[in-house]
Chain A
Amino acid sequence: MRTRSLAASGLGFEIFRHAVLGLGAVLMLAPFVIMVSVSLKSSGEIFSPEFSLLPKQWHAWQNYADAFTKQPLARYILNGFIVTGAIFTCQLLTALPCAYALAKLRWRGKETMFLLVLLGLLIPPQVTAIPLYILLWQLGLLNSYAAVILPSTISVFGIFLLRQFFLTVPDDLINAARLDGLGEFAIVWRIMMPTAMPAVVAFGVLSLVWNWNEFFWPLIVIQSEHLATPPLGVVYFANAEAGTNYGPLMAAATAITAPLVIAFLAAQRWFIDGVTMTAVK
């Protein structure tokens, strides 16, 4: 009996596959290439009618220097790290214990709690914007780091993801830990968290990507330049330069996109696993 290859085979098909996917990849990557290319050119060259990938005269140094000196771009990027770091820490501190209780403990109120998590998953973040804005206004917290961080301190998505993962952890592991005299808190942080590392990392990168790129909420609550998150900073930049000075603008865009792109390329598998994990509901 002849074993058939399951993948479509043949040289003709391989050429077709690479032709189509190659064209697709070029189109998907083109904006990144244009961004970097423009960030290297002088404005004269940017507005010349013929486009070339590399500049005839390198203007990279001036563009990047402008990007970092005309606006506090380094500050925006630092803010991005502060905000995303604080948010993920809070999300993990609340989600891990809750997910453990939902997956492994028997208690009255468990079904209700899980229902609340599922309800939370249905609500897009923009829905809560007006009441949360009013709440932060009454607390006098508008235009502060707290205003950006507080609404994201809870992640129902994180609870859900970690719970799904914890369900696959054998009960024997937890019982053994209890026999060793560990309390429930110690079990969460010393047994469950290390076991759930793949899920925690996947959740972490998704949280980082989401909050680094978030524009809607910071746009609403932040007015001061020194508190701006990266996307907001780029908008300040675009407005200040009135949309004509593309070289430094693209340099700024490159600078705020770079941390995530580098993180993605380094931890690609985690990102993709994280996304697919959410699909396996």
Chain B
Amino acid sequence: MSDLALPMAGAATGRRRRAAGEAAEQMAAWVLAGPAFVLIWIMLLGPTVAVFVLSFTDWTFGMPEIAWAGLANYREMAADEVFWKTLRNTLAYVAFVVPLSVFLGLGAAILIEAGTSLRGFYRAAFFLPVVSTLLAMALVFQFAFHPTVGAINLTLAFLGLPTTDWLKNPDTALFALGVIGIWQAIGLSMVLFVAGLKAIPRDLYEAAAVDGADGAFERFRRVTWPMLGPATLFVVTITAIRAFQVFDTVQVLTDGGPNKSTNVLLFQMYQEGFSFLRSAYAAALTVVFLGFVLLVTVIQVKLQERHTHYG
């Protein structure tokens, strides 16, 4: 009897001890994750919910009263020509910056990895703009875009090409800002593509060579490009989200002008919210901005799913 009882008692205390251990693990986990949990709600998710709610009110900063306004802000937005111009500007900026910075980053990554000499130098040179203070560099670009003494017009004039006051001309200002955006985005896209290239197994190239895929272009078409699919998708998403966030250069170089030609979503949100103090309307603009960023993410996730089905 006692022979039988002892192991049973042992198992019971073991179970109890394990239960106590699990309870302790639960406690520990909550204590460890608790501060992050609270801060995520206060600093990120709570404010996001708040901005959404605020966009349906009529509140202006500092007013004692707040009232439900339904869709009034969104209706005002839809009827506002400036908003539509802002939206067109933002999309034009994204459409200009994303393909060029992805394509140039890809080209740089492939060329850097195709040889062995000076790899580190090129990687550093292309990546340096990513870590530099965009705001300080924007002022350098302002000087470079200077109509008479700027390096850009001096070079163009030397080559016999047309020149203009790039930042003051409504037809060119947005693209001048786009050039700065591309300059800053190439390095990030290059580094992500280098990581993607390194992840391609070398035997795939050998297999392609056995199949008779000779020449750099054939190898690129049959192996490199298909294998870079996920990396490309990621780079396009990151670059697009960052392009939607363009603000620094607009605020410092053009102030949305000339003639609203560089007014972009975030800049308008900043003006409405923090210059004119129209908090509710600015919140509605924020919701539109967030909508675009989420749309880009959703498209990425959908395309990635399709990719893994094929893979």
- Interface size on A, as a range, is 35 or more
Closest residue on chain B to residue A184 by CB atoms: B28
Q: How far is the CA of A183 from the CA of B51 in the complex (A)?
A: 41
Contact B26 A108 (CB under 8 A): yes
Interface check B33, CB cutoff 8 A: yes
Q: How far is the CA of A219 from the CA of B266 in the complex (A)?
A: 13
Interface check B9, CB cutoff 8 A: no
Within 8 A of A (CB), among B107-125: 107-108, 111-118, 120-125
Could you tell me the distance in whole angstroms from the C-beta of B175 to the nearest C-beta in chain A? 16
Contact B289 A126 (CB under 8 A): yes
Out of B127, B134, B231, B290, which one reaches A123, CB within 8 Å?
Answer: B290
Interface check B56, CB cutoff 8 A: no
Could you tell me the distance in whole angstroms from the C-beta of A54 to the nearest C-beta in chain B? 15
A97-B195 CB under 8 A given contacts A105-B29, A128-B48: no
Could you tell me the distance in whole angstroms from the C-beta of A2 to the nearest C-beta in chain B? 10
Contact B135 A231 (CB under 8 A): yes
Interface check A272, CB cutoff 8 A: yes
Q: Mark A223-238, 1 if CB is under 8 A from B, else 0.
A: 0000000110011001
Interface check A140, CB cutoff 8 A: no
Out of B191, B290, B293, which one reaches A275, CB within 8 Å?
Answer: B191
Contact B289 A28 (CB under 8 A): no
Interface check A58, CB cutoff 8 A: no
Q: Mark B46-83, 1 if CB is under 8 A from A, else 0.
A: 11101100100000010000000000000000000000
Contacts A24-B122, A110-B29 known; list 13 others, CB within 8 Å.
A95-B36, A98-B33, A105-B25, A109-B29, A116-B37, A126-B266, A130-B51, A131-B51, A132-B43, A183-B28, A238-B252, A253-B140, A275-B191
Measuring CB to CB, which residues of chain A are less than 8 angstroms from any residue of chain B? 4, 6-8, 13-14, 17-18, 20-21, 24-25, 27-32, 34-35, 38, 46-49, 51, 93-95, 97-98, 100-102, 105-110, 113, 116-117, 119-120, 122-124, 126-135, 137, 150-151, 153-154, 156, 159, 183-185, 188, 209, 212-213, 215-216, 219-220, 230-231, 234-235, 238, 243, 246, 249-250, 252-254, 256-257, 260-261, 264-265, 268, 271-272, 275-276, 279-281
Could you list 13 examples of A-B contacts with CB < 8 Å?
A7-B115, A21-B118, A32-B128, A34-B151, A35-B136, A95-B36, A98-B32, A98-B37, A126-B266, A184-B25, A234-B133, A243-B142, A264-B128
Measuring CB to CB, which residues of chain B are less than 8 angstroms from any residue of chain A? 22, 25-26, 28-33, 35-37, 39-41, 43-48, 50-51, 54, 61, 104, 107-108, 111-118, 120-137, 139-144, 148-149, 151, 154, 183, 186-188, 191-192, 194-196, 202, 205-206, 209, 216, 231, 234, 241, 244-245, 247-248, 251-252, 266, 269-270, 273-274, 279, 282-283, 286, 289-290, 293-294, 297
